[in-house]
Chains A and B, each alone.
Chain A
Amino acid sequence: MLRFLGLVALGALIGCLAALAAMGFVGAVIWLNDLLLISPRGRMMFAHPEALAIATVVVPTLGGLVVGQLHRAIREGRPHTPADVIAAVQTRRGRLPARAGLLSALSGLVSLGSGASVGQYGPLVHMGASLGSLGANLLRLGRSDDNVAIAAGVAAAIAAAFHAPLAGIVFAHEVVLRHYALRAFAPVAAAAIAGHVVATHTLARGALFHVTDTAVPHPWEFAAFLLIGGVGALVAGAYMHAILAVGRWAARLPLAPPLRPALAGAALGLVALWVPDILGMGQETLRFATIQGAFGSLDLVIVLVLKLAATALCIGMGFGGGVFSPALVIGTLFGALCGSWVTQAGFAGDTFVFYAVCGMVAVTAPVIGAPLTTLLIVFELTGSYVLTTAALASVTLASPIAAQLFGRSLFDTQLARRGLDLSAGRSRALLQSARLKDLISQDCVTLGPGTSVDEAVATLSASGHGEAYRVNERHCYRGSVMLADLEVMRGRGQGRLDVSECRDTPRPVLDPEASIWEAMHHPQDVAGEAIVVADDRAGGVFRGVVYEASITRAYMQHSEALQREEHGTG
């Protein structure tokens, strides 16, 4: 009980810190944007058009250079994102690296500050998660508590950045933890509340967007909202595909990775000379998209396509930053486009903003894989129940269609490409990430070169094993022999022969870095007592064997740990 209350208190503390860090980050981005002539306000207050044009191209380019250098100091050579947080929590690895977390936050700050078309919520979420993990680490808490602490940091960051504590709590459960254990709920809720209080009472900042006095849509318009959801899923798919495609394409580019963001920055700046709306997070563009008549239909298409392309370019080429804010902008532009068509057709009255918001959720929810969070953000930011219902209609189709066509979220797709498949749930992910090397047993018989069949039978009989593993003089695995086959040879009077003459029995061979999940799938087609573990990178050196019993035991242990974590109450 005391331990549980301690965890709640830790959640609240992490919430305060994460919220302060988040507010500091947001404030620093605004300050940098004004200073570096990225924000419209900063640009308007600067009176020299030529210098402004130069800055528009130079600032994102230099920002890209700095970001590229920062990424060199991270082991993976790329900024850490919410996907890394999800991976750490889903595989119960926890322990987010503090250094990479700090560098990723810096990279996000520089990217956003210099006007890259990326989002700020990704870095905020990762920063909150890193703070949470750091806290758990300092207190030497277990893996489950580490996960809860990470979720608490995430919830606080969202609660503070959006002024939406409920969305923060749901996001932490829906996207990061992916379970709703009461044990996790209390610390996460405490963090979200603390974050919200800190955000509203110490550093008041305007919310992301406000929608005032809304009309009530006609019943038939809900059908339109559903449809927007369906088509929005395709826009979301295009957005995610574009990001991944640019990433693949950039990898083939004959340009050192640290220089790629600078190239993206230069391209972004050049296009921004023509369409400045694509610079930065695009809060002004988002607001205009909710105003009927601010954009013409053609304008909407141009800005939508360019914003999508700019974001894919910036993220794919290696700028640090999130995918959520650009998705908000793209979705709202898409919704506004639908709204303007409906209006031109003479159907809609004053419900334009509904279309914009429906488009926004239809694109955003599939990208982050969080329909409930997105709905709650709409609800908490607008306080309008009618608007939330319309958004619900839109998300109803958007999330499943995108999940069918593309995957649960961009994060999951990125992780799947790194070898962590979350689509079949957490227990599989856990087994996929658990390494075989921890289960290796040395309790087995190895036969060196020159061993005779007689000697082999004697050794096997003495040790009580039914099979032995042949290795060469460099201890590399050569094959498996069964005691039965050796006995047959001895019976035929071939006891003097070398064991290499004996019939080989095929046995599964795996690398020590292979996952338990892979190992579990081998015994199904081969009956044998163990799996051979040989190190491929060391030229096939025999490391030992893994017995089926230890695989089963590991599976049971992981399942029990998961059950305790996901269904425990305290």
Chain B
Amino acid sequence: MGRGKRAIIRAAIVLLLMLPAASGSAAEAEPLDILSWGGAYERAQRRALFAPFTAATGIPVRVHRYNGSLARIRQAVTSGEVPWDVIDMQRSRGRTACAEGLLEPLSPDLLTPSPQGTPAVRDFIDGAFSPCAITHSVFATVVAYRRDAFPGQRPTEIGDLFDQQRFPGPRALQRDPAVNLEWALLSYGVPEQEIYRLLSTRRGLSLALRRLQRLDNLQWWEAGDTPVRLLAEKRVVMASGYNGRFFDAMVNRGLPIEILWDGQVQEHETWAIPRGAEQAESARKFIRFATATERQAALARLIPYGPSRRSATRQVTTHPDSGVDMRLHIPTHPLNAERAVTKDDSWYAHTHERISEYFNAALPHDAPAAGETPPATPEAPAAP
């Protein structure tokens, strides 16, 4: 208690000291250019991160949109004209970009400790730091089911996705080996730490594919909004999809669906600074600001993405407008994350192509679900 109070007082003093500096530099401050995903996600970021940052430092923020593709970043860095200072990117892309030398190195030293004084390296979840990127939130691919399809017993574990005797009805899964193979192995009781090691063997792959082959009435989806639509139209009773989309359908549109958190496959969303960014110093300041416990918690109250800090996860409360308890909807909440798999980016980076061939050869090529949009490019935005 005493420590918490002291920390608040210390923070207040720091803020007081910063005030004159902030107001002094407000007039001539160069705007910070941030590249992000747009949509509801960007609106939440503006409210929870960008506006408070400008208020605290006087540095205005200009937001740009992209679909996650590295092509534009690559082009910009090679030409030497980098129009952004901070990029919001998936960890897997961040790894690739870092290896290609497109990003500035980013040290965890710049991060603030938690309000309780826990150093950042211990407060952040495992795998949050890579050489050029720092994870700020976690989104998940989960299974959602129609509540009305299972009036008696409801699915409680990921194995139920494959159990069409106890939970009958059509399923929809993403036409991609990722996530599906993980779930198939989990359903055999394989511990989550061993999934990628076992998937690296022919035996493991065929074991996983056998589970998928035995699913009756399976529809494949490719665009991120399809699973919600298939569930809404009652064409399937269980579907995989992104937790943000399901949250939106459930809370904002009142669809009678429920998320099965067991076996959720988490991916990291990171902050990175492109090489040659003009405002690299402000960019660091922004990352420090935006990854503070309080800001992460504020963002998670607006959209259901899990903060990368343990201390922030504990502080998440209700949505400021709708009053929905957001703790139940973020992937990293202890209740939801009991058996969570973290997608192994580097494994997929090396194997995705070969595994996809194997996957496509083994599984029937049924026609895409009626009304399906043409296949999305693999670089289409995944999260929001």
Contact = CB atoms under 8 A, between A and B. Distances in A.
Nearest to A43: B200
A45 B197 contact: no
Interface in B178-213: 188-191, 193-194, 196-201, 203-204, 207, 210
Interface string A209-223: 011110000000000
B340 to A, nearest CB: 15
Given A206-B193, A212-B191, A294-B207, A287 B354 contact: no
A44 interface: yes
Contacts of A43: 200
* B188, B189, B350: residue with the most chain A Cβ atoms closer than 10 Å: B189
Contacts of A293: 207, 210
Nearest to A288: B203
A284 B191 contact: no
Interface of B, helix, strand, loop or mixed by DSSP: helix
A276 B201 CA distance: 9
A41 B200 contact: yes
A276 B204 CA distance: 13
B351 interface: yes
Interface residues of A toward B: which range?
20 to 34
B190 A47 contact: no
B347 interface: yes
Interface residues of B, number: 21
A40 B197 contact: yes
B355 to A, nearest CB: 8
A45 B198 contact: no
Contacts of B200: 39-41, 43-45, 284
A44 B191 CA distance: 20
Nearest to A210: B191
Contacts of A45: 200, 346-347, 350-351
A224 B203 CA distance: 28
* A277, A287, A353: residue with the most chain B Cβ atoms closer than 10 Å: A287
Given A45-B347, A45-B350, A284-B204, A291 B189 contact: yes
A283 interface: yes
A40 to B, nearest CB: 4
B198 A287 contact: yes
Nearest to B339: A212
Given A212-B189, A212-B191, A213-B189, A284 B350 contact: no
Nearest to B350: A45
Nearest to B185: A291
Interface in B290-349: 346-347
Given A47-B354, A288-B203, A288-B204, A41 B191 contact: no
Nearest to B202: A276
Contacts of B199: 44
Contacts of A46: 350
Contact of A44 (B193, B194, B210, B351): B351
A162 to B, nearest CB: 15
Query: 4 closest pairs, A vs B, by CB?
Result: A44-B200, A40-B200, A45-B350, A206-B193
Interface of A: 39-41, 43-47, 206, 210-213, 276-277, 283-284, 287-288, 291, 293-295, 353
11 contacts: A39-B197, A41-B197, A44-B199, A47-B350, A206-B194, A211-B189, A212-B189, A213-B189, A284-B200, A291-B207, A293-B210
Given A41-B196, A283-B197, A284-B204, 15 more contacts: A45-B346, A206-B194, A210-B191, A212-B189, A212-B191, A284-B197, A284-B200, A287-B198, A288-B204, A288-B207, A291-B188, A291-B189, A291-B207, A293-B207, A353-B189
